[in-house]
Structure 1
């Protein structure tokens, strides 16, 4: 059975003590866009962009949203920009257990169940597991109950030395991949809770018997980095794929991600289909 958390993670909205100008300048510099280039994209002038960033001019609500769109600012941070400029948030943040989200929840449930027997799960911006199918339950067999207490966190479950880490045959490679993924998310969302999670999981010691220290045999060519995990005496290989919602108009929806683990070799396909039959 899949499970759905009662609400999405709560992240900070606007950094205290900062006006909209410095925030916009920070996003522009992070995106490596000049004032002139941003002005051309937004149908404005470099002079006006400069005045906004220095606080000499207060941008309209429409201008804030337009600049945020052209700077690819995440939806939550767009609300933060509006608040800093003195406007009300534009995007709602609806709890996932709200009746208005019924269709979304049911759709995600059907989607991840449709992937069975292949593992699939839904996570929020903090990598908390909001929904998971029976394929994920299979991969978590043997994980201590202490790590399975809600809210489940995908990064903790994967990288903790008492979690899945001892069974991931290419642990060092997969660990590096996950930490790099979190670094990109931190740069995009500027979330202190996410940074704290990163520092926590990055500090986890390697398993006492790190699978990568042994002989993995002849390398198998893959088109993407697989997660090679031991299960019931076999090594299963999965390629991870992450999907997000297009043009979200709600903060909660914008921060949802559906991760699926597709078989990377015929042996994994045969084994998983055998479980079903």
Structure 2
């Protein structure tokens, strides 16, 4: 049984609606509820059901980890589980197949915190000589690529990569039915010139 409304879930709804720059009327129409009902939810006068939370979160594109906070705030059990990467079964195999398919270009799979979960063969030489302070575990790819003792000196367009990475982090902070799977991202590092491409091919080509 849901707890009495205390406004906590309403504050989350309002925060995410404003973050997505959506009006109450817009969200209420899309989520199939009245604007008055949505207003009651946001002000704590009404506690939404599990189905209502899911519809609102779908419209606001709320990440699964954050959706669990909605459920808890409404007095409900979290709906989305979280498992280690190694327990994802067929999904793990699919991620590793994508990484292998990126060769000879280096590629990694990371979670929402940019911690390294998997890598292809092309990426391994770049991570093999990291200093102890960067070697983990876990290896944090954001820190590794931006740190002066990590991969930063090897990235020719470092300023562009830094700007891209920071934009990604900001979007993640603002932003499958499993938390782990929902948060996986695959990062691929493409060569900037023909020389780099040739070197990458040599790193993954077995000796004759």
In 2, the alpha carbon distance for the partners of 1:63 and 1:134 equals 45
Structure 2 gaps of 5+ residues are 1-5
Q: Is 2:30 the partner of 1:41?
A: yes
Partner in structure 1 of residue 3 of structure 2: none
Structure 1 vs Structure 2 CA RMSD: 1.9
Q: Is 2:157 the partner of 1:176?
A: no
Q: Is 2:87 the partner of 1:159?
A: no
SS in 2 for 1:139: helix
Partner in structure 1 of residue 201 of structure 2: 273
In 2, the alpha carbon distance for the partners of 1:41 and 1:112 equals 37
Partner in structure 1 of residue 68 of structure 2: 79
1:64-143 → structure 2 map (5 Å cutoff): 64-98=53-87, 101-140=88-127, 142-143=129-130
Shift of 1:142: 4.5
- Picking from 233, 236, 256, the partner of 2:184 is 256
In 2, the alpha carbon distance for the partners of 1:147 and 1:79 equals 32
In 2, the alpha carbon distance for the partners of 1:69 and 1:41 equals 10
Cα 1:171/1:269, change in 2 over 3 Å: closer
In 2, the alpha carbon distance for the partners of 1:29 and 1:75 equals 18
SS in 2 for 1:146: coil
Q: Is the 8 A contact 2:85 2:117 kept in 1?
A: no
Paired residues, what number?
A: 200
Question: What are the superposed Cα offsets for residues 82-129 of structure 1, whole Å, 9 maximum, x if unpaired?
Answer: 11111111112122233xx22222222232123222101100010000
In 2, the alpha carbon distance for the partners of 1:168 and 1:262 equals 11
Cα 1:149/1:22, change in 2 over 3 Å: closer
In 1, the alpha carbon distance for the partners of 2:201 and 2:179 equals 37
SS in 1 for 2:86: coil
Structure 1 gaps of 5+ residues are 1-16, 189-247
**Structure with greater helix percent:** 2
TM-score, normalisation: structure 2: 0.87
Question: What are the superposed Cα offsets for residues 18-57 of structure 1, whole Å, 9 maximum, x if unpaired?
Answer: 6111110000011111111111101111111101111111
Shift of 1:131: 0.4
- Structure 1 runs of 4+ off > 4 angstroms? none
Shift of 1:184: 1.7
Shift of 1:260: 1.7
**Structure with greater strand percent:** 1
